[in-house]
Amino acid sequence: MANQAPMISIPKKTTEEVDWTSPIRTLIAQSYGENPDNYAAECASLQRCRQDAVRGAGSDMTARDLLYKYFGQLELLELRFSEIRVNFPWHDAFTHKLTTQTSIAYEKASILFQIAATHSAIASSQSRADPEGVKRAYHYFRTCAGMLTYINENFLHAPSTDLSREVVKFLVNLILAQATEVFFDKCADEKKAPALVAKIAAQTAAMYTSLAEEVKEFMGKGIFDRNWVTLVQIKAKHFSSLAQLYRAQVDAAADKHGDALVRLQVAENLAKDALRTATSFASAFVPNLSPTLPADAGPAIQERTKAHLALCTERRSEAQRENDLIYNAILPAPEALPVLDKLTVATPIPIQEVYGTPDVQKTIGQDFFIRLIPLSVHESASVYSEEKAKLARGEVEKADQAEGEARSALDGMGVKEGLTRFRAMAEGEVGGADEVPLDVRRWRDDITVIEEREGVEAVLAQLSRLKEGVQRELDSAARDLEIESKDCEMLRVKYDHKWTQAPSAGLSKPLRQDLKAHTGALEAAAASDAQVLALWHAVQGDIRLLMSPQLEDVFRASTERDGGDNLLDLDVSGEADEAQERAKIGEMVAAIDERLGKLNKISRERNEVLKDLKEKIQTDDVSHLLLLNRRNTGVEPTLFATELEKFKPYQQRLAATVQYQTVALKEVAALWKSLRESAGRGPGARKWEEREKKKKDTVRRFQRARDGYMEIRDGLAKGLQFYNDLTELATKLRSNVKLFVNDRVRERDSLVAAIETENRLSGAPMSPPPLSAKPPVPPPPPTSSLESSLASMNLRSAPSPHQSSPAPQWQNTPPPPPHLQQHYSYGSQQYAGAAPSTHTSYAPSPPPPPPSQYPPPSQSQPSYPPPHQRQGSTSTWLPPPPAPSAPPSDPYAGLGMFGDASRPTPPPSQPQYTSLPPSQQQPYASPPPPPPSQPYGSYAQPQQQYAYQQQQQQPGFPPPPPPASTYQQYGTPPPQPGQQGYAPQGYGGYSYGR
């Protein structure tokens, strides 16, 4: 196309600045009750959006997008602030008159007019020589007509001329005529059929002809540019000529040569009129005065009409010659010719289609005030959310029900547990991966962690060190007391009646009682140590094996038959039957595995679909749609139903998984039944049961070892606590003994000095009285090794630790005079009262249990020999063996009392010491042993803390192990698990975990 016809574009309106911020802030505070400052950014965005759209934009694609965005935000803004009032000043596009209105509808109509003008400018500027340019021009002319049509249909009372119904209607027809012209040019260039082109040309000519008649009504009002009127008239003549030209071709093809010749004559006449008008238009056209027309509008339309006239003249001359020479057809009058048919090819594109495209929605972007939702929209959105939640809950319940049915069906059949058995039978061997049960592996891990932190051997060594330290402290305290008593009595013999220092026995009695109690507790604890050590020797081998890498080999060896045969070893003559049986079982197992895998896939698929459905429901938001349909009443049920339809595919997929699962479960049930019937009673099943029995026996073996280990750890923890407390008590006792001895030494030195001074002053040497035989030195406290202590303190065979010391030769020494007793009252009070003061630092022991909790002495306590038979180690008396039902003693049972200060201590004025008859008392020896109901040196004074046996005589504890002497002092290995004497025991009567 050499020269394209000029197109008319609609002029734009102009506007002034508008303040959106103040009215919006007022409405946010009044209608929504929120702080307007929270929406300052949104107000600024809206203000900037209007400025970009109407102030600095041109007539290109950028201007179109800015106008699109602003109009979209206006639509959303009106739904939230329908009552907003803002002054919107706009100048008329044709008369340039300023019109100001406060209605947001006026702003929307003006923006739509701007969009229509921009579309017309874009369409007019397209190069129609390019096929894409033709498409864009045709599209934007139609969208321009759609925008103008929307203005005419929705804004009835126009405040300005450019928005009046008559002007807008004229502009719509003008734009549609130009769109039809663009479509005609495309068809003509593509050489479509002459009949089609003639119809389109006739439609274009009719539209321009109608516009030429309508524009006469606006001539006197000065609304439109006069060049518009001239151009419309030229195009009306031009397209009428083109319609006759193409219709002449159609008549000639139909052998209507006379009609064709007349139509060519008419076309030539119309072309001459168009050329004449175009020539005058080109000579008078000034581009600056008509900005809505192309700069070359005059020459372009003149060239097109001139070329068309030449074509019409050529065609008419040729048709005239042919008719004269060949056809001689009769020429009808032009008025008698048939009316040209018309074809409408250009219609307005509605605004809904324009704004419904994804590109335009993306251009509009997110709502500026999306956080500001009206209350009515909130309520409707809550109703929709409840509908979504109801749908999600229903699907979740169905999925959970399906999972539960599948799990219950498989558990009821016992497929997962039994399939391992049949798989091993099919393979003819036991897989090594599942040899060690889960419980045993957990026991191994727990014991390994405990041993890595602190092993049993290390704790035993620590116990031994603590025990030796306590023994040293007690031996030192006993030695100091004996030396002090000996020195005092030697001086008493030397100075006779002049020696007035009180005997040590009465003053040191509390200290000796503490010493005896600590020694008894230490000796009793040795028996518990022996029990723990014996239990450790009994389980040590199994514990080491449990922690070793050979654990799996132990289980494998326990389940294999002698000679290493497989599970399905049959007779030699039945090897073929064995292979056939294994093959059949293997096929069924493989089929069941396939169905189980299918069930797992179905479950994963269901979970994935359910997850997608939840995410879809979570992200689904219809507040925008509810806001857009806010003015439409009764639309919510229909809208909700439509929106919920998008979840249908997920529901259908979930229902399909349930159906597939039902079919798979039926197949698994049939295969499992067949497998059990065919292989459940064969030789392989019997061998499997035998293997499982051996495996369970091995598990029980390690369980006993683990229980014993835990009891050992519990006993060792109690032992450590006991020895730590006893070490503290022994240290305090040693300190008190030192303080007592030092005070006595100072007192003795002072008295010796006084007596010597008196003797010198008297001048007469004093002859000492004859001395009796020197008393033998009391033997030191017996010291023995750990083994002898353990053997002597055995619960069954050891005699009572409370041995009476031999009475010293000076036991009948008269008491000191009263004045001397008064003189040493402070010392007596200090040391005689040391027991209450010392024991007050510890916590008192709880009162003994009621008598009903103690068994009779003849059944629960060993018999003790008379005191005269328990002197020295040469006694041949042995206590009778304890009753079998007597529980083992626990010297650590009262350890918790050491730190218990919650129980009150009775006043020291009411002692409850247990004593022997006066004939058997030994003034300076240790107290006699307690009654048989309190073994191992425990005594019942309320102010004493050593209630070591308060929990030993409670029923329900396991019997003690054999005496340590049974194992030849740990030289003989302990009995094997399952033999007599190997049973999990508590340390000192306590059982771990009970």
Q: What is the DSSP string of 87-151?
A: -EEEE-TTT--EEEE--HHHHHHHHHHHHHHHHHHHHHTS-TTSHHHHHHHHHHHHHHHHHHHHH
- Percent of all residues in the chain with a pLDDT value above 90, rounded to a whole number: 42
| Residue type, position 948, single letter | Y
Say whether pLDDT at 309 is over 90: yes
- Percent of all residues in the chain with a pLDDT value above 70, rounded to a whole number: 72
Q: Which residue in 357, 359, 339 sits closest to 349, CA to CA? A: 357
Question: Tell me, what's the pLDDT at 775?
Answer: 52
**Both ends of the chain: CA-CA distance in Å?**
105
Question: Tell me, what's the pLDDT at 434?
Answer: 53
Provide mean pLDDT across the span 773-790: 47
Domain locations along the chain: 1-190+348-372, 192-341, 450-538+694-759+773-848+885-907+924-989
Query: Dihedral sign, CA of 65, 67, 72, 76?
Result: positive
Q: Which two tokens stand for residue 743?
A: 């005070």
pLDDT digits (tens, 9 = 90+) for 498-546: 888 889 888 888 999 999 999 999 888 988 889 888 999 888 888 888 8
More confident residue, 444 or 365: 365
Q: Which two tokens stand for residue 759?
A: 């003797």
Question: Tell me, what's the pLDDT at 142?
Answer: 97
Say whether pLDDT at 204 is over 90: yes
Q: Which residue in 76, 86, 750, 622 sits closest to 369, CA to CA? A: 76
pLDDT digits (tens, 9 = 90+) for 549-569: 777 777 767 655 544 444 444
Say whether pLDDT at 958 is over 80: no
Question: Tell me, what's the pLDDT at 203?
Answer: 96
Does domain 1-190+348-372 match CATH 1.10.1060.10? no
Provide mean pLDDT across the span 373-402: 86
Beta bridge partners of 14: 91
Say whether pLDDT at 953 is over 80: no
Chain CA centroid to CA 128, Å = 63
Cα 929 from Cα 938, distance rounded (Å) = 9
3-class SS at 89? strand
Q: Where are the beta strands (DSSP E) in 5-84?
A: 14-15
Place of tokens 């002072």: 750
Asked if 793 and 527 count as a contact pair (C-beta separation under 8 A), the reply is yes
Say whether pLDDT at 384 is over 60: yes
Question: Tell me, what's the pLDDT at 157?
Answer: 84
Average pLDDT over the chain, rounded to an integer: 76
Most confident range, picked from 291-305, 755-769, 818-832: 291-305
Cα 215 from Cα 210, distance rounded (Å) = 9
Question: Tell me, what's the pLDDT at 688?
Answer: 62
Confidence of residue 570 (pLDDT cuts 50, 70, 90): very low
More confident residue, 628 or 455: 455
Residue 657 CB coordination number (10 Å): 22
Asked if 756 and 569 count as a contact pair (C-beta separation under 8 A), the reply is no
CA atoms within a 13 Å half-sphere pointing along the CA-CB vector of 641: 5
In terms of C-beta density within 10 A (0-12 exposed, 13-18 middle, 19 or more buried), how is residue 895 classed? buried
Question: Tell me, what's the pLDDT at 797?
Answer: 39
Cα 281 from Cα 750, distance rounded (Å) = 152
More confident residue, 62 or 676: 62
pLDDT digits (tens, 9 = 90+) for 222-263: 788 899 999 999 999 999 999 999 999 999 999 999 999 999
CA atoms within a 13 Å half-sphere pointing along the CA-CB vector of 987: 25
Most confident range, picked from 180-194, 564-578, 760-774: 180-194
Give kind and range of the element (H or E) at residue 98: strand 98-101
Q: Which two tokens stand for residue 210?
A: 């109608």
**Region of poorest pLDDT, from 460-464, 596-600, 773-777, 810-814:** 810-814
Confidence of residue 721 (pLDDT cuts 50, 70, 90): very high
Asked if 384 and 588 count as a contact pair (C-beta separation under 8 A), the reply is no
CA atoms within a 13 Å half-sphere pointing along the CA-CB vector of 217: 7
Q: How is the beta sheet containing 88-91 ordered, strand by strand?
A: 14-15, 88-91, 98-101
Cα 176 from Cα 200, distance rounded (Å) = 13
Cα 518 from Cα 514, distance rounded (Å) = 6
**Region of poorest pLDDT, from 281-285, 371-375, 507-511, 987-991:** 987-991
Residue 106 CB coordination number (10 Å): 21
Query: Dihedral sign, CA of 959, 963, 969, 971?
Result: negative
Say whether pLDDT at 831 is over 60: no
Backbone torsions φ then ψ of 341, nearest 5 degrees: -75, 150
Give kind and range of the element (H or E) at residue 475: helix 456-495
Give kind and range of the element (H or E) at residue 487: helix 456-495
Provide mean pLDDT across the span 131-157: 94
Provide mean pLDDT across the span 290-298: 91
In terms of C-beta density within 10 A (0-12 exposed, 13-18 middle, 19 or more buried), how is residue 812 classed? exposed
Provide mean pLDDT across the span 385-411: 91
**Region of poorest pLDDT, from 108-117, 319-328, 567-576, 705-714:** 567-576
Cα 877 from Cα 887, distance rounded (Å) = 24
pLDDT digits (tens, 9 = 90+) for 253-273: 999 999 999 999 999 999 999
What dihedral do alpha carbons 439, 442, 446, 452 form, nearest 10°?
Answer: 130
CA atoms within a 13 Å half-sphere pointing along the CA-CB vector of 457: 4
Nearest-5° Cα angle at 423, 419 to 427: 175
Cα 566 from Cα 586, distance rounded (Å) = 16
Provide mean pLDDT across the span 794-808: 38
Cα 836 from Cα 904, distance rounded (Å) = 12
Query: Dihedral sign, CA of 878, 879, 883, 884?
Result: negative
Q: Which residue in 577, 561, 574 sits closest to 679, CA to CA? A: 577
Question: Tell me, what's the pLDDT at 4?
Answer: 87
Whole-prediction pTM: 0.51
pLDDT digits (tens, 9 = 90+) for 75-87: 889 888 888 899 9
- Which is it for strands 98-101 and 14-15: parallel, antiparallel or unpaired? unpaired
Helices and strands of the chain, counted as H and E runs: 29, 3
Q: Which two tokens stand for residue 564?
A: 């290493």
Say whether pLDDT at 56 is over 80: no
Q: Which residue in 305, 168, 339, 154 sits closest to 237, CA to CA? A: 305
Nearest-5° Cα angle at 471, 470 to 474: 85
pLDDT digits (tens, 9 = 90+) for 693-718: 777 888 888 888 889 889 998 999 99
More confident residue, 508 or 627: 508
Question: Tell me, what's the pLDDT at 845?
Answer: 37
DSSP 766-805: PPPPPP-PPPPPPPPPP---HHHHHHHT-TTT---S-PPP
More confident residue, 799 or 425: 425
Q: Which residue in 247, 109, 248, 124 sits closest to 175, CA to CA? A: 124
Say whether pLDDT at 573 is over 70: no
Spatial neighbors of 117 by CB under 8 A, at least 6 apart, are 9, 10, 11, 12, 13, 59, 93, 144
Cα 417 from Cα 410, distance rounded (Å) = 10
Confidence of residue 220 (pLDDT cuts 50, 70, 90): confident
Domains 1-190+348-372 and 192-341 share a fold: yes
What dihedral do alpha carbons 63, 64, 69, 72 form, nearest 10°?
Answer: 140
Q: What superfamily would CATH give domain 192-341?
A: alix/aip1 like domains (1.25.40.280)
